[in-house]
Every structure is written in structure tokens, then in C-alpha cells.
Amino acid sequence: MLQKKTKYAIKALISLAKVYPDQKTLKTSEIALSENLPRKFLETILLELKNEGFVKSKMGATGGYLLAKHPEEIMLSNVIRSTGGPIALLPCVSLNFYEPCLECVNEEICGLRNVVLEVREASIKILSKTSLSDIILRENKLKKKTKTH
């Protein structure tokens, strides 16, 4: 399950991706309002996203945040890992956050671990090739679909 922090980070990045072609900056309050996110928590998240190189900020009256890279270059797997930790459902199959499961007698013959390993591989495959641009395209398709039904 995605942590709230990760979900909010993705929502904020999508907001910034939507205005990316115009190189428009968005203030934290604008993003918070449009995405229904808590402003104070979002401020912390945006600072982390800035430190991770996803966004940059501009000072002044017309300042705010904007993407540091093209939306096609920002993959969900990278955002999840930098804001929420592992993609894996169990720590024993995590690539970057591995920990043995305390109750496991032998990882090599654990059936649950084997299944979750497959889930991790499928998740990484999808999340590593899904960019902010892809999410916006999906949203647009879903909007069209709901208008026709």
C-alpha cells in the first residue's frame, strides 16, 4: 500500500506535470487546494521532492514549484522509492530495503515469499515504465470514457 506521503507526492507532481509545457510555477497552496491535500504536509513533501531533484522552486511573487525534469522522465518507481520506501509487499523481497522476515524459517523454500517476489517483479516492471505523462494520458482517457457513458 502506498503511504500518504507518497500518494501526495505523486498528486503534486502530476499537478506540476499538467502545467509543465507552459513552465508555469504553482504555489504550494494552489497544489494543496486543487488536489485536496493538507498544505503543511505538502510543504514538507515538496521540499523533499526538491532535494531529490524532482522539482525546483522559484522565489518571489510569481514563484512556486515546477518540475525539474520533463514529465516523461519522472517514473513512478523512482517517486515511490524516494518518498515511501520499498515497492515490495514483504521486506524479504525488497531490492533496496531488504530485511529477513523474523518468523521465516527458510527464505529459499517460503512459498509466500516466492509469490510476493513475482508481484514485486510485475510491480517494478509497470512502475518503472510509467511516467507522470502516462498518468495524465490515462486520466484524460478515463475522463473521455466517463463522458460517453
Concatenated DSSP letters for 24-90? --B-HHHHHHHHT--HHHHHHHHHHHHHTTSEEEE-STT-EEEESS-GGG-BHHHHHHHHH--SSSS
Q: Are residues 38 and 92 in the same domain?
A: no
What pLDDT, in 10s, does the model give residues 116-136? 999 999 999 999 999 999 999
Q: Are residues 41 and 85 in the same domain?
A: no
Of 36, 67, 98, the domain-final residue: 67
Q: What is the pLDDT of residue 2?
A: 81
In a domain, 107, yes or no: yes
Grid coordinates 530495503 are at which residue?
97
Q: Are residues 104 and 57 in the same domain?
A: no
Distance between CA atoms of 66 and 27, rounded to whole angstroms? 9
| Beta carbons within 10 angstroms of residue 24's beta carbon | 13
Q: What is the pLDDT of residue 51?
A: 95
Domain with 122, as residue range(s), is: 75-130
Of 67, 95, 114, the domain-final residue: 67
What's the one-letter identity of residue 9?
A
Of 41, 67, 93, the domain-final residue: 67
Q: What is the pLDDT of residue 137?
A: 96
What's the one-letter identity of residue 22?
D
In a domain, 140, yes or no: no
Q: What is the pLDDT of residue 149?
A: 66
pTM of the entire structure?
A: 0.87
Q: What is the pLDDT of residue 105?
A: 87
In a domain, 135, yes or no: no
Q: What is the pLDDT of residue 88?
A: 85
Q: What is the pLDDT of residue 77?
A: 93
Residue ranges in the chain modelled with pLDDT below 70 = 149
Q: Tally the domains of the chain.
A: 2
In a domain, 39, yes or no: yes
